[in-house]
A and B are shown apart, each in its own frame.
Chain A
Amino acid sequence: MANLRTNFLGIKSPNPFWLASAPPTDKEYNVVRAFKAGWGGVVWKTLGDGDPIVNVSGPRYGAIHGPDRRLIGLNNIELITDRPLEVNLREIKQVKKDWPDCAVVVSLMVPCEEENWKAILKQVEETDCDGIELNFGCPHGMSERGMGSAVGQVPEYIEMVTRWCKQHSRMPVIVKLTPNITDIRYPARAAKKGGADAVSLINTISSIMSVDLDQMSPWPVVDGQGTHGGYCGPAVKPIALNMVAEIARDRETHGLPISAIGGVTTWKDAAEFIAMGAGTVQVCTAAMTYGFKIVEEMISGLSQFMDEKGYRTIEDFKGRAVSKVTDWQYLNLNYVVKASIDQDLCISCGRCHQVCEDTSHQAITNQVNGQRKFTVKEEECVGCNLCAMVCPVESCITMVPQTKGTDPRTGFEYGRPYANWTTHPNNPASKAAE
């Protein structure tokens, strides 16, 4: 049986599944339920200073649904905790005392003044929590007040506040990054420069979920008006994976511990983030969609996978995919695949033909000898994979690497040695180098 125990910055947890700082971790009641359900850790919903903030009492969530109202994406306009600081601190202390083996990290967001940070750090330290996460990510509400993503969008602020936190606290510092920037490497580098022990990402993406066409107002509608919220859920996972990969493979931040967040719904999502360098994963939307019990599937699925692959610990496969992420210019231009349609599996829906014909390379027939039949025209197929992606039958269309013979489309032999764009004759830069 695989060992899922995790040691992240010295913060130990029975498994890598943490609940992200969000509504599920706002109170002792929820967090205790989570630990009972099997979650390895929580990042307590963001604390602020001063008077508690006030939330709207109208709708706070919007969603995108797939078939059968499966929730694919969620957005929210809820702010940080609206409960008094003392109550949160008291509950955190109690929970950590009662659940010493589970990770309890506390998320923080106060104005960008050293005194504010100094003050709250001292109070939080007294709870004996395992670490802090700096919320430089929330794109709505708090950002209008100079906090959240307003900080996360300015690398200098990230570095400055991170440094204060390292100076005034003994606790491990995780910097939570906003995806609402152009290049995630800059805020990550700034966090590292400021002394961050780790980064966590992604926070939510600025979003308007939909327009209510009756009220002619963005959804969710709060008394006739709406505002952008933070987008999360399965739909954002690819964006998060890319940003995690960028940080994991960046020369300056390579090796910086990462707690990955963004659409983790099953064990497989978690395994992918871990393969991309994450030490723990944080989950919110999946729990908010199905409740805490889902962690059982995550634990059993990850164990099963690790057993099958012979990984004894998380460390055994952490970051294994990072070196495979490269720039486009280094991809092998001599690697050729052609689509292949398994006629036994084909149900003749014809979607592959339709999309190839209308939107791609006219490389799939719809008739052979007057009969409805879908076959690949190798002389036209560029191996783009669109047909396989739209095919409703799994494994019916596969992309087969070509190794012997000549490509009827290009006239080139298959199996030529690796060669990429940097040395390609059509690349002006490569010519200049000659």
Chain B
Amino acid sequence: MGSVRTGGLASGRLTADDYKANFSDIHPPLTRHEAFVEAERCYFCSDAPCQTACPTSIDIPLFIREIAAGNDLGAAESILKSNILGGICARVCPTETLCEEACVREAAEGKPVKIGLLQRYATDRLMEAGKQPFKRAASTGKKIAVVGGGPAGLSCAHKLAELGHSVTIFEAKEKLGGLNEYGIAAYKTTNDFAQREVDFVLLIGGIEVKTNHALGKQIDIASLRRSYDAVFIGTGLAGVNKLGVDGEGTLRGVRDAVDFIAELRQAKDLSKLAIGRDVVVIGGGMTAIDAAVQSRKLGADHVTIAYRRGQDVMKASKYEQEVAQTHGVTLRTFVKPVALESQNGFVTGVTLEETDLDNGKLVDTGQRYSVKADMVLTAIGQIFVPDGLGGADRLELEGGRIKVDQYRRTSVKGIWAGGDCIAGGEDLTVAAVEDGKQAALSIHQSLHA
């Protein structure tokens, strides 16, 4: 039993060595020899399915062949020219549903070439070399505002800078990087990789960074449009969905998973972070998995993910589900939270109701049971917050997010958008990078038309 003052929450559950081990790289990088051996497995396919499957169309057979030929920096350049954030994508991409699923060796033997790890190998070598392989074109004299310094914004800014434009990135938070910095499990991006990658991107030059500049607070679209030749919006999803049950927001021990992960990512000392003994995570996406697994890694005894539908439709990939399960996380499916149980202002449990599918429609069964919890993390989806988009011209939304065309042009002339804040996206880092790149190319074209 937790004390009256903290419930079951406690920090410092583990030894210093445990924290270090738990939050080290979940996939150790390939050694040089391992990379050679793995690279030799690539068949150098014609019109390679892996490349088609990559949202940024990285020439995967080429970069792997470059690794096999001992040209690591050339390999990295081949990757980064399609995807400037190839380093983080190598770590966080759900490769098992993208390039590696398409790999012909997956079809042949169920063992695809480890494209993600090879990509990491090559990009790590370039990052170590500390060189920016891309040069800025002669200055165009054009100024572009990029709102949001996450993957979409960084990708857009880099491409624009490369094309000779002057870019200013406005970031609401203290640091650039977006979800790479604040939203992904720590063991996926160790050694401050997100910031090192940001530094690497900025090495190209021509990019001014203004942090602590939030749309709707320090800046607004109308004035940006007046001061800049084009505006790119890549603000991501700033809001979170609510459970809609009593006690959310008031009971101690109940918080949203996005904040929990952000706090963990920014923590200088993980042993100072409070974690429950019995943690229940509500949701079925990557955020739910990252929150659950990191809860275990912080020392929680029991971690349960409660998801209202079946495992096959969880937004978290199969691989991520496996990561959760191999870390001792219990997946409970077809359950939804209907009440938070509490004592003295602290959460003590979650009442779950079993759900069922009736002709594909999710229905309640009335069967309820209680799960012990001294910490409840909600991860039931993030939402777009259209603050500061107003002004003279309102941006058209679709399903609550910004509507864009194939060139990532919004309904308003001179404004482009990309990343999680646009409609129809995949909510993937790699897709955001592609959005930023495509928007930059479209902006460039429009400024020269």
Output the nearest chain B residue to A353 by Cβ-Cβ distance.
B46
Output the nearest chain A residue to B61 by Cβ-Cβ distance.
A349
Q: Is the CB of A350 within 8 A of B47?
A: yes
With the chains together, A351 CA to B108 CA distance in Å?
14
Q: Is the CB of A351 within 8 A of B45?
A: yes
Q: Is the CB of B43 within 8 A of A392?
A: yes
Q: Is the CB of B40 within 8 A of A347?
A: no
Q: Is B44 part of the binding interface, using a Cβ–Cβ cutoff of 8 Å?
A: yes
- Quick one: which of B82-118 are within 8 Å of A by CB? 104-105, 107-108
With the chains together, A351 CA to B40 CA distance in Å?
15
Q: Is the CB of A67 within 8 A of B46?
A: no
With the chains together, A393 CA to B49 CA distance in Å?
17
Query: B59: shortest Cβ distance to chain A, in Å?
Result: 14
Measured between beta carbons, the chain A residues less than 8 angstroms from B36 are 67-69
Task: For A348, give its contact among B37, B41, B44, B107 (CB under 8 Å).
Answer: B107
With the chains together, A108 CA to B45 CA distance in Å?
52
Q: Is the CB of A347 within 8 A of B108?
A: yes
Output the nearest chain A residue to B46 by Cβ-Cβ distance.
A350
Q: Is the CB of B105 within 8 A of A347?
A: yes
Q: Is the CB of A349 within 8 A of B37?
A: no
Q: Is A354 part of the binding interface, using a Cβ–Cβ cutoff of 8 Å?
A: yes
Contacts A348-B104, A349-B104: A354 and B46 contacting too (C-beta < 8 A)?
A: yes
**Total B residues in contact with A, Cβ cutoff 8 Å:** 16
Q: Is A372 part of the binding interface, using a Cβ–Cβ cutoff of 8 Å?
A: yes
Q: Is A366 part of the binding interface, using a Cβ–Cβ cutoff of 8 Å?
A: yes
Measured between beta carbons, the chain A residues less than 8 angstroms from B43 are 349, 351, 392
With the chains together, A351 CA to B47 CA distance in Å?
9
Q: Is the CB of A347 within 8 A of B46?
A: no
A366-393 interface mask toward B, CB cutoff 8 Å, 1 = contact, 0 = none?
1000001000000000000000000011
With the chains together, A11 CA to B105 CA distance in Å?
51
B105-142 interface mask toward A, CB cutoff 8 Å, 1 = contact, 0 = none?
10110000000000000000000000000000000000
Q: Is the CB of B46 within 8 A of A349?
A: yes
Output the nearest chain A residue to B107 by Cβ-Cβ distance.
A347
Query: B409: shortest Cβ distance to chain A, in Å?
Result: 30
Measured between beta carbons, the chain B residues less than 8 angstroms from A67 are 36-37, 40-41
Contacts A348-B107, A349-B104, A393-B108: A366 and B47 contacting too (C-beta < 8 A)?
A: yes
Measured between beta carbons, the chain A residues less than 8 angstroms from B37 are 67-68
Measured between beta carbons, the chain A residues less than 8 angstroms from B33 are 69
Output the nearest chain B residue to A396 by Cβ-Cβ distance.
B108
Query: B118: shortest Cβ distance to chain A, in Å?
Result: 14
Contacts A68-B37, A349-B104, A393-B108: A372 and B45 contacting too (C-beta < 8 A)?
A: no
- Quick one: which of A150-200 are within 8 Å of B by CB? none
Residues on A close to B: CB < 8 A? 66-69, 347-351, 353-354, 366, 372, 392-393
Q: List 15 interface pairs A-B (beta carbons < 8 Å), by A numbering.
A: A67-B40, A347-B104, A347-B107, A348-B49, A348-B107, A349-B43, A349-B45, A350-B46, A350-B47, A351-B45, A351-B46, A354-B46, A366-B47, A372-B47, A392-B43
Since A354-B46, A366-B46 are in contact, a sample of 20 more A-B pairs with Cβ atoms closer than 8 Å, ordered by chain A residue number, is A66-B40, A67-B41, A68-B36, A68-B37, A68-B40, A69-B36, A347-B107, A347-B108, A348-B104, A348-B107, A350-B45, A350-B47, A350-B48, A351-B43, A351-B44, A351-B45, A353-B46, A366-B47, A372-B49, A393-B108
